Amino acid sequence: MRALRIAAAVEAASILILFVNLFTAHVKVITSLGGPVHGSAYLVVIAMTFASTVAGSTGVRWRAFVPGVGGMLVLHQLNRHPETLKTTAGSVPQG
């Protein structure tokens, strides 16, 4: 869960930085660094969502595909429905 939180924060922050850059100065170095950071965080969010949720939790999984805020949507849904988290035998999901 911690890695998912970090990836979701990086995804949201990087898209915000990219949009601010796009609508203001449009500095190429920010775009060339921010784009891959955002794309990587987006893919990590998707992978972590599929790895940490049970097979029947499609309601959570489709949220991961929303660019920019998908990670935050997943975290919100997992907080509302913690039973969708995969757990090992006898462990309790940690938030």
Q: How distant, in Å, are the alpha carbons of 36, 42, 45, 92 from that of 78?
A: 27, 17, 13, 14
70 located within any domain: yes
Residue 57 resides in a domain: yes
Phi, psi values for residue 30, rounded to 5°: -65, -40
Domain ranges, residue 17: 2-84
Instruction: Count the domains in the chain.
Output: 1
The verdict on residue 91 lying in a domain is no
pLDDT average, residue stretch 49-55 = 88
Question: Is residue 94 one of the residues assigned to a domain?
Answer: no
How much is the pLDDT for 86?
Answer: 84
Is residue 89 over pLDDT 70?
no
For residue 90, pLDDT over 50 is answered with no
Residue 66, token pair as written in the block: 């929303």
Rg of the chain over Cα atoms, rounded to whole angstroms, equals 15
> How distant is the alpha carbon of residue 78 from its chain centre?
12
